[in-house]
Structure 1
Amino acid sequence: MVALAAPAQAAGASAAFTKTSEWDSGFGGQWTITNTGTSTVNGWNLSWDFPSGTTVGALWNGVLTRSGNSYTVTNESWNGTLAPGQSTTVGFSGSGTGNPTNCRINGASCDGGNGGQPGAPGAPGALVPGTVTNNSIAISWAPASGDVTEYEVLRNGSVVATTTARNHVSSGLSANTSYTFTVRAKGPGGTGPASEPLTVRTTGGQQPDPVGDLVNVGYFTEWGVYGRNYHVKNIVSSGSASKLTHINYAFGNVQNGRCTIGDSYAAYDKAYTAAQSVDGVADTWDQPLRGNFNQLKKLKEMHPHIKVVWSFGGWTWSGGFGQAMQNPQAFAKSCYDLVNDPRWEGVFDGIDLDWEYPNACGLTCDNSGRDSFRRMMQAFRAEFGDQLVTAAITADASSGGKIDAADYAGGSRYADYLHVMTYDFFGAWAAQGPTAPHSPLNAYPGIPQAGFNTHEAIQKLKAQGVPAKKLTLGIGFYGRGWTGVTQSAPGGSATGPAPGTYEQGIEDYKVLKQTCPATGTIAGTAYAHCGNNWWSYDTPQTVAGKMNYAKQQGLGGAMFWELSGDTSNGELITAISNGLR
C-alpha cells in the first residue's frame, strides 16, 4: 500500500488516499473518509485532481462526477452518516501513473490546509507478523505519514497498547486461536485511520473441526477482487476461515468443449502487497505464481482443513456445457489437466460443475438429454479419481421443472456432493411483483409458483434417489428486492427492481442489514419494507432455522453464495457453522 496524503481534519472529517495495487497501465485506488470530530457527520463531499493521462474508471461506494481532470465523489445513501471515529472507504480502478493533488474533504484541504491546524497522521503501513508462540504474537509495521507521536495497537478491535516504537508483542493469548490486529497513528492533529488488519493464529492445540462431519461450502468469486475489493485475506480477517470446510473458486469457463481460465490476471498474475496478502508477505515481480491462486495456497497452509475446489460454468458461462458433452471424456480430461496444472500445484482439491441447467433453460437453453448430467458426472469421476467432484444443481421442484429434466440421482452416484441452489426462486425479473422471498424454506399461502421452495426441492431429489448426505442446502448472502412497493407483507405489487450497489434488484446482506433491516419473516426467511423498497434475505436467525432443517433431513451440510456478501466479522457464515454443530 502506498500512502500518498496525510489526512487533515476538516469540519470533523478527514480523508486519506492509498494505492491498493498497481500494474503496468493502472492501479487500484482507495480513499478512506474518517469522522475525526466529536459529533456525527451527515454527508461528505470529496474532491481531487489527477494529472493529464491519469483517470478514474469504475468507482464504488460513492457517486462520481468529473470535470476535466477534477473529480468529485459524494456519499451513497447508506454511507454518508459517520459517527465519531467511524470510517468508510471509496474504491476505484484507475489508469495511468499519477497521484491525486488538491484534495478537499467537505471544503477543507486534505493536505493540512485547515486554518493552520495540523492534519492527523495517515494509516500505518503493512503489519507484518514476527515470532508466534502458543501464547504470544509479535508484529511490526511501516511508519505512518504525517506528524506521529505514538501508535495505538488494537487486538480484535480493542486498544491493547500504546507505543512510540513500530513493533509490539501481545502475550497471554490462547493457544491455536486467531487474533486480528490493527494499528492507528496519533499526532497533534488527532488520530489517523487504522492500518489494514492482520490476522495471526497462535500455535499449539488442535485445529477445530468447523462443523463435525458436515460441510460448510462457500463460493469465492474471481471478479470480487475488483469492484468488491474482496480478497482471500478477507476470509481470514473476518474469522471465516476457521468455519469453512470447502471454498468453491468461481468461475472457470467452458468453451469449445474444454475447461478454460476465466480471468488469468485475477487468477494467477495479480500482485499482492504485504498488507493485502494472507500471510503479510508481498508478492515479488519474478515469483512463478501470484494472484488468487497463490493467496489460496497460503490460506491452505494456514488452515489445512480447508479444501479448495475450482468451479466451472455458472449462470453466464453455462452455455458451453452442451457442446462439451458431445465428448464427455475429452471434456473431463481438459478440466483435469487445467485444475491440476503444475503451475498451481497444491491449490485445488477437485472440481465443481455449475451447469445451469442440463437439458433445460437458464441463460441459454440446452437439449442434451435427461441422461447428460449422469454421463458428465461419470466421466469426471473416472478422470478425477479420488479428487472431489461436486456440482451445483437446480432447486426447481415444479411439476415438469428443472429437477425433472435431468437424472440427478444417476449423477449423484459419482458425486461427493450436489449443492442445491435453494435461492433465487423469486426476484424483480418479475418487475411488477408480486413480492416474494427469494429463498423460502417451505410453501406458504399465496406463494407465486408451486414447487419453488427449499423443502419441496429436497424432497423431490431424495424421492428420485439422491442420498440425503450428498445434498447441501444453499444459502444466499444477499437479498432480492423491488421498488414502488406500498405493502409490507409479501404479495404486494411493484414498479421494478430496487436499486442495488452493483446490479438492480440485488444487494449484499452486509448492506441490507444496515439500510433496510428485516421487518418480518415468512417461510423461514426474512423480509424488509423500507420506504418504497421491499427486500427478502436471510439473517443469522433464519440461517439457524435452515441449518436445523438440514440436520433434520440428514443433509450433508450447507453451501452459500458468496463470501463477500457477509459482514466483516462473518455473521452469516458463523450462523451456518454454529447451526450445523
Structure 2
Amino acid sequence: MQRSRRSVRRWLAAAAATAAVAVPLTVPVPAALAAEACAPAWAASSVYTGGATASYAGSNYKASWWTQGEVPGTQQWGAWKVVGPCGTVDPTGTDPTGTDPTGTDPTGTDPTGDPTGGDPGTPISTNPQEKCRPDGLAVNKTVDVPYCDVYDEAGREKLPNGLDRRVIGYFTSWRTGDGGTPAYLASDIPWTKLSHINYAFAHVGPDSKISVNAESATSEAMGLTFAGAENALDPTVPYKGHFNQLTKFKKQHPGVRTLVSVGGWAETGGYLGADGNRVASGGFYTLDTQAEYDAFAASAVAMVRTYGFDGIDIDYEYPTSNVKAGNPDDFAIADARRGQLWKNYEQLMKTTREALDKAAAQDGEYYMLTIAAPASGWLLRGMEVFQIMPYLDYVNVMSYDLHGTWNDFVGGNGALFDDGKDGELAAAGVYGAYDGIGYLNADWAAHYFRGAVQAGRINIGVPFYTRGWTNVQGGTNGLWGKAALPDQTKCPPGTGPSLGGTSKCGNGAGGIDNVWYDVDKAGAKIPAGGNPIWHMLNLQNGKVGSYASAYGAPTGPLTGTYQHNFDPVTKTEWWWNAQTKSFISGDSDQAIQAKADYVVAGGYGGLMIWELAGDYGLDAASGEYGMGDSLVTRMHSTFSAAAPYGAAKSKTATPAEAIDLGVSFSEFALGDNNYPINPRVTFTNRSSVAIPAGATISFDFATTTSATIGEQNGWGITTVAGHTGNNVGGLEGDLHSATLKVPSGGIPAGGSASTKLSWRLPMAQISNVRVTIGATTYATTYDHPRGVKVVNPVVSGGTTGGTPGGTPGGSTGGAGCTAAAWLAGTAYNGGAQVTHAGHRWSARYWTQGNAPVVSDWGPWKDEGAC
C-alpha cells in the first residue's frame, strides 16, 4: 500500500553537513603561530559541538558548531576552523606517511600528472565481463562480477520467453485456499509468459536476518503441502511449501528468474510470526549499525544460495523522513528515527550489493538486487535524491495506491497520466505551486527515476486489484468526486484525521465490493473496495460469483449495476454503480494495454504486477470469471514484439575518457519541511590534477521538477528545459540539462568544492555528469559509465597539469619552473616557493597538505605561469 498524503509546512534548513574527502583544501594558518601539541585525532563517527577541538593532518582545529563526519579543512565555509600546526614538523621534508616525496610512483600511477601529455588512463574496471555491466551499475573493484550470466554486451538483461521487456509478477504466500477461498499456487503461475517472479514475502527477524519462519510446519514458504498432482513436491530438495514448488517449476523454466521479496506493507517494521500474529520487533527500521547490515547481507547470500533464487527484492515501506508514512503499526518507531532512515537504507543497500557481488564471483552466477519503490511525490520528497540507484539492477515503481480511502478524495488506483483535475492535488494547492505538474501518476514517477538511470532499469507497477469508495458525491461517474466516512470517529488507524492533517477519511466500499480485505486489530473487515480484477468482471456481468460466501461477502442479489469506464487522458479504468454510488478502480484490459504501449514507446524496462492472483480467466461452462492469465498474456504479446529497452543513461555518446570525480549530497531538511529541496552538493576530485577555475560541470536531471533550478554559492548555473508547462497527458521530455562553472580556486587534486542547489518537486539524483576543460569534455566516475578509461584531465597546452592559458607543463613544472614541485607531505614555512600546475607559488605562512590554488586568503600566492 502506498500513501499519497502530504502537509505543506514552512521550510527549515538542516544544520548537519557531511563530506568525505582525505586531502584538506587551502586553509589559513597564521605565520607567527608555532607548532603545539596535537588535540585528540578527529574521528569521522564522533559528534563535535561548538568549541570542541581535534587534530587532523598535522594541524589543530576548533569546531564552530555541531558537526559530524566533516573532515577538518575540506570545506571552505565548514564547521572547522584551523588553530594552527601541531606536533613536530619534519625538517627534512620527507613524508613518513608513505607518500612518495620524489614524485615517482612505485604503484605505476603518476601522482604529479604526465608531463608529456600522454596519460594512457586506466580502465574503469579490469573485470573481463565489464562489457556486460549495465550502464550506471556500481563498479565493483574487489571481485570480478559475472555480469554476462544475466546481461548481454549492451548491458541489457537477457530475457526469457521471447520477451524484449520484463513482465514481473509478485506471487504472494497467503493465497493457499484456506477457508475455501480460491487458491493461487506456483502451478497457477503463467511461467511461459513471465520474465521474473517475486515471492512475497520474507521478513527481517530480530536477529537482523532474512526469515520465512522456516522452523514452522505451517510456514507457507517451506512447511506446507498442497493438494493435486500438479502440486506434488520435488523430492530432490529438503524443504516443502512454495519454495519447493518454485524450485520444481524453475527447473522446467530455467530462464525465468525468481527473487525473494523482503518486507511489504505488513512486515516492514515488524513481522508475522509462525502463528500469523504480528511481532513488533525486527524489521527494516531497526537496522542501524554496520554489524546489522552485514548480518542482513550475509542472510541474503544464504537465501539465494540455499533455495535457488536469482536475487533479492527489497520492499521497504518506507525509508522516508516524512511523518506518519507507511503502516500505522510502525509510526511510533519510524517517526522517532525518520532523520536517519534514508542514510541507514543507503548503507544497507550498499552492503547487500557488495555481498551479493562477492557471492556471485565465487559461484559464477549473477545475483540480482532490486527494490519496490514508491511513486508518490510526497513520499519521495523525504527520500533525499534516491542515492541507492547504483546498487540496483532495476527499480519496480509502485505506481498504484495513488488514491485510496485514507482520505475522501476519489481518484484512480493507478493513473498513468495526470489530467490537471486530481482533487487531492488541487485541494493541496499543488498545481498552483508547481507549474501545473501533478505527481500522482505513473508517468511522473517513471520520469523521477529516469533522472537517475536509463529507462530500461525502470519497471512500471500495475494493480491487478482495486480500491474504492461508496456514496461518492460529484465527479464524472465518481472520478474526482468526494466520499467522506459519515462518522469520522470511526476512521481506521492511519487514515483521515489520525494522519495529523485536515483531510477526512474515506467511506470505503464494503460488502460485495470488498472481497480482498484487510482486517483491523479486532479482526473486523476494513472497507476499502479491495477486489481482484476477475471479481469486478463478474460484477460487471451482473454475477455475484460462487466464491462470495468463502470470502464472507453477500451472495446476492446485487444492488444496482456496475458500469465499466475508461478515461482517455489518465488511462484510469474503473467501475461505477450509480445506485450505490460506488467507485472502484483497478487495471483491466484497457489500462494494461495503455501502460504496455507506454513502456514500449518510452524504452522502459517493463511492467511489474501486484499481484498475479488478480489476473482473470473465463470459465466457459459457468460463464464465471476466476483466476487466470489474460492480462499477462496481453503484456507478453506486446512485449515479445517490442524493440529492446533503453540501455544508456544519456541520449548523447559518453566520452571515452573519465575523470575520477565523485558527487555527494547532504544537508537535506526532513521531508515535511523539505520545501524547497535545498541540499549541499559536493564535488570531490579524486584525480591527481586540479580541476581549474572556469571549467564547467554539466549534468542532467529529471523533468519531474521545473527546469528552474537555483544555485546559491556564486558558481552560476544555466539550464535547458526538457519539459515546460503542465504534465497533462504526460511529460514531454525525459531530462533537463544544467551547467555549473567551477569558481575561483578550482577543485584541488584530492580535494572537494561544494555549492547549494535548490529545486521544488523531487528528482532522483543528477546524471550524465561531465567536466569540460578547454575544448575537452570528460565523463565522470560518479556515473559508473561503461567502457571508459579513467585519466587525469588535460588542463592546458595538451598536457596534464597547468592552468588554462598557462605555459604547457605538468605539475612537475614546465620551462622556466625552477622551484621544486609542491608535495602534499612536505611542510613549508612562509616565503617558501614551489611549482605546481604550471605556476610558481610562494607560501604566505606555514602550510602542509594544502594544494596551491588561487585564493585571496589561502597560504599560497600565485606568482604566475612558469
Q: Distance in 2 between matches of 1:441 and 1:544?
A: 11
The aligned counterpart of 1:443 is 418
Instruction: Name the one with the larger strand percent.
Output: 1
Cα deviation, 1:271-301, whole Å, max 9, x if unaligned, reads 2334351xxx4578x9722111111011111
Quote the sequence identity (%): 26
What CA distance in whole angstroms lies between the structure 2 residues aligned with 1:459 and 1:208?
A: 24
Return the alpha-carbon distance in structure 1 between the equivalents of residues 314 and 586 of structure 2: 26
Q: Distance in 1 between matches of 2:385 and 2:353?
A: 15
Give the corresponding residue for 1:244: 194
Q: Distance in 2 between matches of 1:257 and 1:358?
A: 20
> Is this contact kept in 2: 1:390–1:417, CA < 8 A?
yes
2:542 paired with 1:501: no
One of 439, 448, 466 as aligned partner of 1:460: 448
The verdict on how the C-alpha distance between 1:579 and 1:226 changes in structure 2, with shifts beyond 3 A counting, is: same
CA contact 1:257–1:324 (8 Å) conserved in 2: no
Change (3 A) 1:457 1:340: closer
State the alpha-carbon separation in 1 of the partners of residues 381 and 444 from structure 2.
Answer: 13
2:376 to 369, 387, 396: 396
Contact 2:159/2:166 (<8 A) preserved: no
Which AA in structure 1 matches 2:183?
Y
Question: Larger deviation: 329-338 or 524-533?
Answer: 329-338
The match for 1:515 is 539
**How far apart are residue 229 of structure 1 and its match?**
4.0
1:266 partnered with 2:220: yes
Instruction: Give, in whole Å, the separation in 2 of the partners of 1:472 and 1:518.
Output: 30
- Amino acid aligned to 1:485: V
Change (3 A) 1:372 1:300: same
Is 1:484 paired with 2:471?
yes
Q: Is residue 241 of structure 2 the alignment partner of residue 291 of structure 1? A: yes
Cα distance in structure 1, aligned partners of 2:285 and 2:410: 34
Distance 1:325 1:248, change over 3 A: farther
Paired position in structure 2 for 1:575: 634
| Letter paired with 2:171 | F
Give the Å deviation of 1:456.
1.2
C-alpha contact (below 8 Å) 1:351/1:388 kept by paired residues: yes
2:311 equivalent in structure 1 = 350
What displacement does 1:436 show?
A: 0.8
In the TM superposition, residue 515 of structure 1 has moved relative to its aligned partner by 0.8
The answer (yes or no) to whether the contact 1:232–1:296 under 8 Å persists in 2 is no
Q: CA deviation at 1:369?
A: 4.6
Letter aligned with residue 377 of structure 1? M
The aligned amino acid for 2:284 is F
Say whether the 8 Å CA contact 1:217–1:559 is kept in structure 2.
yes
CA contact (8 A) 2:304 2:312 kept: no
d(CA) in 1 for partners of 2:384 and 2:457? 15
Q: 2:188 aligns with which of 235, 244, 262?
A: 235
Per-residue deviation at 1:573? 1.3
Contact 1:469 1:555 in 2 (8 A): yes
**Is 1:556 aligned with 2:605?**
yes
Are the counterparts in 1 of residues 172 and 201 from structure 2 also a CA contact under 8 Å?
yes
Give SS of 2:380's match: coil
SS at match of 1:251: strand
Change (3 A) 1:273 1:434: closer
Alignment of 1:474 with 2:461, yes or no, is yes
CA contact (8 A) 1:256 1:324 kept: no
Deviations 1:197-225 (A, max 9, x none): xxxxxxxxxx9943533211110111121
The higher radius of gyration belongs to 2
Contact persistence 2:159–2:195 (CA under 8 A): no
- Out of 286, 299, 309, the position equivalent to 1:335 is 299
How far 1:338 sits from its partner (Å)?
Answer: 4.2
Secondary structure (helix, strand or coil) at the match of 2:266 reads helix
Task: Confirm or deny: 8 A CA contact 2:234 2:248 kept in the other structure.
Answer: no
Question: Which residues of 2 match residues 187-198 of structure 1 at below 5 A?
Answer: none
**Which amino acid is 1:446 matched to?**
K
> Alpha carbons of 1:421 and 1:257: their partners in 2 closer, same or farther (altered >3 Å)?
farther
Correspondence 1:37-56 to 2 at 5 A: none
Matched, 1:423 2:400: yes
Change in Cα spacing, 1:233 to 1:382, as seen in structure 2 (3 Å) is: closer
1:46-445 map, 5 Å: 209-210=160-161, 212-227=163-178, 228-236=181-189, 240-256=190-206, 258-264=208-214, 265-277=219-231, 281=232, 288-319=238-269, 320-327=283-290, 329-340=293-304, 342=306, 344=307, 346=308, 348-360=309-321, 361-363=325-327, 364=330, 365=334, 366-385=338-357, 386-397=366-377, 401-406=378-383, 409-430=386-407, 433-445=408-420
Q: Distance in 1 between matches of 2:233 and 2:244?
A: 11
Unaligned stretches of 5+ residues in structure 1: 1-206
Q: Distance in 1 between matches of 2:233 and 2:343?
A: 48
**Residues 231 and 535 (structure 1 numbering): CA distance in 2 closer, same or farther, change over 3 Å?**
closer
- Structure 2: distance between partners of 1:321 and 1:459: 27
Q: Which has the higher contact order (CA 8 A, sep 6+)?
A: 2
Residue of structure 2 in register with 1:547 after alignment = 596
Task: State the Cα distance separating 1:226 from its structure 2 match.
Answer: 4.2
CA pair 545-395 structure 1, distance change in 2 beyond 3 A = same
Q: Distance in 2 between matches of 1:410 and 1:211?
A: 33
Any stretches of 5+ residues in structure 2 without a counterpart? 1-157, 270-282, 358-365, 426-437, 486-506, 518-526, 541-561, 617-626, 641-866
Q: Which runs of 4+ in 1 moved over 6 A?
A: none
Cα deviation digits, residues 544-564 of structure 1 (max 9, x gap): 111111122221111110111
TM (normalized to structure 1)?
Answer: 0.58
Q: CA shift at 1:403, angstroms?
A: 1.9
Partner Cα separation in structure 2 for residue 211 and residue 547 of structure 1: 16
SS at match of 2:447: helix
RMSD value over aligned CA atoms? 2.5
Partner of 1:82: none
Contact 1:425–1:453 (Cα < 8 Å) also in 2:
yes
Q: Secondary structure at the match of 1:529?
A: strand
